[in-house]
Amino acid sequence: MKPTLRSLLAAVVAGSALFAMPLAAQAQTKIKMVLNWKFQGPQAWFFMAQDKGYFKAEGLDVEIDQGEGSSASITKVASGVYQAGFGDINALIGLAATRPAEAPVAVYMIYNTPPFTIVVKKDSPIKTPKDLEGKTVGGPANDGALKLFPAFAKVAKVDPAKVKITNMTPNLREQMLLRGQVDAIFGFINTVYFSAKLVGIDPEKDLRFINYADYGMDLYSNAVVFSRAFAKENPKAVAGFVKAVNRAINDTMTNPEAAMDFVMKREPLLKRDVEKERLLATIKQEMGHPEIAKIGFGDVDGDRLKRAIAMVVEANGLPRTPSNDEVFDRSFLPPRAERASKF
């Protein structure tokens, strides 16, 4: 029997549909992202954006890996292994000053209040930064507070040559302090606080915090960063990624308990109550700078960023001062009205 016109058309349509399926799959832009640290509560929005399809809705296929420190995330993106990362903008400033062609660019600020701290035991004779001279301070090699210590030493009038720095693995940091193996430790306030709780240390009773912000270091911290080359070649993908994360952060503010479901899915052995407390403390202490009322969440204040860049450059003796635009690109941000999260 000879095929009819209708049957021929049906075959063509069916064939076209089959041919289009792989093309649709290919339309998803792949992005590999590295986090600042191991899976924890304050990463809930990244997991939510992935699992609820927010990335997919923007045409993105996002893979998320655990990190090894906020500073390390910057170098991992710079190396080209990852297109995106969640890392310390101060490490980015250092790279932009020394190797500008390789440096990533920040596109969405999350930790807009400096979390950097030096932690001592409650009964330690170290009361002020000056008391660190002659003492041993430890921290993971890629810790943001450790990397910024030269800048902190300068503003706090500490002679860094008189402070012995030692490295340890992150899981030993708090125990080594309590055992007296080091006199103090570097870290993010909430990282140390809640890591201490997880190993049975009462941070309120056993620890004291010497915070960088209390000595005039009004720095920004962790932001979403992208490879400069990727951002230039895929501006729509970067804007979509930021939009998805911003949407998930808004959802987290509305329902942090539900957001924790996505964290526990990644790492079921985490202590949910501690990680939720860590999430809420991070939102309150590291993400609630007063400038949000004026510029909206995710953005930076230009004058403040310029001062921060100058501080990092001067304290570390960097060869050049990057411009604000080299460090942060706000062109990918959603409209201001969409960035008014309930902080």
What average pLDDT values come out for the chain (343 residues) when binned by 10 residues?
A: 50 48 64 96 98 98 96 96 97 97 98 96 97 97 91 94 96 94 96 93 96 94 98 98 98 97 97 96 95 96 97 91 98 95 69
- Give the per-residue pLDDT at 287: 96
> Of 87, 48, 49, 93, whose CA–CA distance to 68 is shortest?
87
User: For position 2, what pLDDT does the model report?
Assistant: 52
- C-alpha dist (Å) from residue 4 to 7, 15, 17, 30: 5, 17, 20, 43
| C-alpha neighbours within 13 Å on the C-beta side of residue 110 | 26
CB neighbour class for 289 (10 Å; exposed up to 12, middle 13-18, buried from 19):
buried
Range 28-113+220-339 has CATH code 3.40.190.10: yes
Would you report the helix, strand and coil content of the chain in percent, each value rounded to 5?
Answer: 55, 15, 30
**Rg, C-alpha atoms of the chain:** 23
Query: Contact at 8 Å (CB) between 184 and 177?
Result: yes
Angle at 151 between CA 317 and CA 110, to 5 degrees: 115
For the chain, counts of helices (H) and of strands (E): 17, 10
Q: What is the pLDDT of residue 26?
A: 55
Where exactly does CATH 3.40.190.10 map onto the chain? 28-113+220-339, 116-215
Superfamily of domain 116-215: Periplasmic binding protein-like II (3.40.190.10)
pLDDT reported for residue 142: 84
pLDDT for position 331? 98
The answer to whether residues 91 and 78 touch, using CB atoms and an 8 Å cutoff, is no
User: What is residue 93's three-state secondary structure?
Assistant: helix
